[in-house]
């Protein structure tokens, strides 16, 4: 009889069942809240190979992970990425993994949507902050909205469930959240709004001023949307930090991720692993664990499993995000480094 290993439980009794793994730090966009325009990318030797990523993800599955999300950068620009996704799909097929999904900017979906569905992916998150082509180009710097919209149609045709992620940015897209909610209703997409977080030095002076200017409270956004939409609180959960309502007029869901105004730390069930094998137990803290060294030190997984368990014992109760002009970013690394 095979004895299942003990699940990952952090110091506050939270079961860690959701792991976000970045497969690359590279991206074909340069979104203003995620990357600087002139990013210095990591050398190839520092990046985990597809085989190492498979072994790392499989170790988390063996330790009780039920949801695995692949991120980047942009995960679909990683060369031969479908080899990894098809391989990880075996855990979905066996029932060991409840969900294999990914967060993408949508630029490559027209190419990969059918393959993702065939590999066992059923649901994806696509980052779209505006439906205005010029504003989209300004936010993403290098992106083209038409390419993303084509990808979304391909995803829908392939039978993938789509959730749109939009970062709420004051003075940038705050007037578009209402029409975006209507558009999602027409397309049958759920929508999740996200408060901007103090990550990365965006202005060269610590980032605080830029974040202060960009920050938009989703508490205020919800109050404004409720003037035109009927938002019914929902118990729906996807395993992540979003709190959902159902939009009565469309039947679609609207999620709110509010790390600043109403943090979700008390129920945190996740960790993030970068493409170099560095595990961050909290997005808003600098403490991290090196999983690449034990991964490469032995073909046996014993050292790797122990390194994961040891790191979970250091998971903090919550983050220290605070927005303010007189403060630098809570952590200096860009979102793309941690894994979006």
Q: Map residue 177 onto helix, strand or coil.
A: helix
Angle between helices 302-312 and 50-62 (to 10 degrees): 60
| Binding-site residue positions for [4Fe-4S] cluster | 27, 31, 34, 265, 268, 282
Q: How far apart are CA 155 and CA 241, in angstroms?
A: 24
| 143, burial (CB in 10 Å: exposed 0-12, middle 13-18, buried 19+) | buried
Q: Is 298 helix (H, G, I), strand (E, B) or coil?
A: coil
Q: What DSSP string runs through 123-159?
A: EEEEE---S-HHHHHHHHSS--HHHHHHHHHHHHHHT
Which residues are annotated binding-site positions for GTP? 20, 69, 103, 163, 270-272
Please give the annotated binding residues, written as ranges: 20, 27, 31, 33-34, 69, 73, 103, 127, 163, 197, 265, 268, 270-272, 282
Residue burial 294-326, b: 16+ Cβ < 10 Å; e: rest: bbeeeeebeebbebbeebbeebbeebebebeee
Binding site, annotated residues for S-adenosyl-L-methionine: 33, 73, 127, 197
């Amino acid at each position: 009889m095979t004895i299942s290993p003990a699940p990952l439980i952090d110091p506050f009794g939270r079961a860690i069942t959701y792991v976000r793994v970045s497969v690359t730090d590279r991206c074909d966009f340069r979104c203003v809240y995620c990357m600087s325009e002139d990013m210095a990318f990591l050398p190839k030797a520092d990046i985990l190979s597809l085989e190492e990523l498979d072994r790392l993800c499989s170790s988390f599955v063996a330790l009780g992970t039920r949801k695995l999300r692949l991120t980047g950068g942009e995960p679909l620009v990683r060369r031969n990425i479908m080899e990894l996704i098809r391989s990880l799909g075996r855990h979905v097929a066996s029932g060991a993994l409840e969900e294999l999904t990914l967060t993408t900017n949508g630029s490559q979906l027209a190419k990969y949507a059918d393959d993702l569905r065939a590999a066992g992916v059923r649901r994806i998150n696509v980052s779209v902050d505006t439906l205005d082509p010029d504003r989209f180009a300004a936010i993403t710097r290098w992106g083209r909205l038409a390419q993303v919209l084509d990808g979304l149609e391909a995803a829908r045709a392939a039978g993938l469930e789509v959730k749109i992620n939009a970062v709420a940015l004051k003075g940038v897209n705050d007037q578009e959240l209402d029409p975006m909610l209507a558009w999602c209703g027409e397309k049958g997409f759920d929508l999740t709004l996200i408060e901007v977080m103090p990550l990365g030095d965006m202005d060269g002076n610590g980032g605080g001023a830029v974040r202060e200017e960009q920050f938009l409270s989703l508490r205020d956004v919800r109050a404004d949307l409720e003037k035109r939409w009927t938002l019914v609180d929902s118990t729906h959960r996807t395993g992540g930090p979003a709190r959902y309502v159902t939009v009565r007029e469309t039947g679609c869901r609207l999620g709110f991720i509010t790390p600043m105004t109403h943090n979700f730390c008390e129920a945190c069930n996740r960790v993030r692993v970068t493409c170099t094998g560095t595990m961050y137990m909290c997005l808003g803290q600098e403490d991290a664990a090196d999983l690449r060294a034990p991964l490469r030190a032995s073909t046996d997984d014993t050292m790797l499993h122990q390194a994961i368990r040891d790191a979970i014992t250091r998971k903090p109760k919550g983050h220290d995000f605070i927005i303010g002009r007189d403060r630098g970013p809570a952590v200096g690394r860009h979102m793309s480094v941690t894994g979006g």
